Amino acid sequence: MFPERLRALRHGKHITLEVLAKGLNELFPDETPNTSSQIGNWERGIRTPSYLEVKKLAEYFDVSMDYLCGRAALNEYDLSKLFLSGRQLSFDHKVLSSDDRYEIFQLMDGYFHGKKRRTLSPSGEQEELALNWNKTKDES
């Protein structure tokens, strides 16, 4: 399972073995350097990486070690933890400030709290919102 997931993650980012090795070496400069042939052997199942190498890969791809090793079927991530973490977040190549993060978190939280109160019509569709628009005499 590990070789397939590693290959899929690398292909999903559209990077070569060389780019992945360089990225790991830059992210973890104090660790033993990685090579493209080493990573290729992991992807082909010829060699098995150490726990530390799997940990580095998981951090590089921002996935859990359980996902990478096949123990978790889905790579699930709780957005509330992400917004409250110290990680730098960006949207459309713009870094989110702490105020941005807080506001977006509040919007999402409000959406889900409001969703609990919304009702569905008998046909199963969401009810229309009563926006209380002030109609002018021309619209009536």
Q: Give the residue numbers spanning the domain of 92.
A: 79-117
Q: Are residues 60 and 90 in the same domain?
A: no
Co-location of 52 and 108 in the same domain: no
Non-local (6+) Cβ contacts of 7 within 8 A are 43
User: For residue 17, what is the domain's CATH number?
Assistant: 1.10.260.40
User: Is 65 in the same domain as 88?
Assistant: no
Q: What are phi and psi of 137, to 5 degrees?
A: -60, -30
Higher model confidence: residue 132 or residue 94?
94
Identify whether residues 6 and 41 lie together within a single domain: yes
Percent of the chain with pLDDT over 90: 40
pLDDT at 38 over 80: yes
Domain shared by 34 and 62, yes or no:
yes
Residue 16 lies in a domain: yes
Q: Is a pLDDT exceeding 70 seen at residue 133?
A: no
| Structural contact between residues 44 and 69, judged by C-beta atoms closer than 8 angstroms | no
Name the nearest CA neighbour of 56 among 76, 79, 34: 34
CB atoms within 10 A of CB 101: 17
Residue 62: inside a domain: yes
Q: Could you tell me if 47 and 27 lie in one domain?
A: yes
| Model pLDDT, residue 136 | 52
The pLDDT tens digits for 53-84 are 999 999 998 888 888 888 876 656 677 777 77
- Domain contains 122: no
